[in-house]
Amino acid sequence: MSIEHRPAGIDNRHWEGDTVIQGHKQSGLVTLVERRSGYLLAARLARVTAELTQAAMIQLLKLRRGDYW
């Protein structure tokens, strides 16, 4: 979704997620940025699929909470 078309309440959220895709969904990155501090979490995606992107985001947030430390 383009930034211009985001819903009005979206700016009140703490985290913003995005994907960077190389080629035609060959590989990429998933990023999560904490909007207030600018803290960045990122993970490499060997292939870009909804399932792998979701799993990577969950893993990043669990690491942030300390579940795997």
pLDDT in tens, 21-50: 998 878 999 999 988 888 999 999 999 999
Instruction: Please give the share of the chain, as a percent, with pLDDT higher than 70.
Output: 81
Domain count, the chain: 1
Angstrom distance (rounded) from CA 1 to CA 30: 15
Angstrom distance (rounded) from CA 42 to CA 33: 9
Q: Is the pLDDT of residue 69 over 50?
A: no
Mean pLDDT for all residues in the chain: 84
CA atoms within 13 A of residue 37's CA, in its CB half-sphere: 5
Q: Is the pLDDT of residue 7 over 90?
A: no
Contact 44, 27 (CB under 8 A): yes
Domain encompassing residue 53 = 3-65
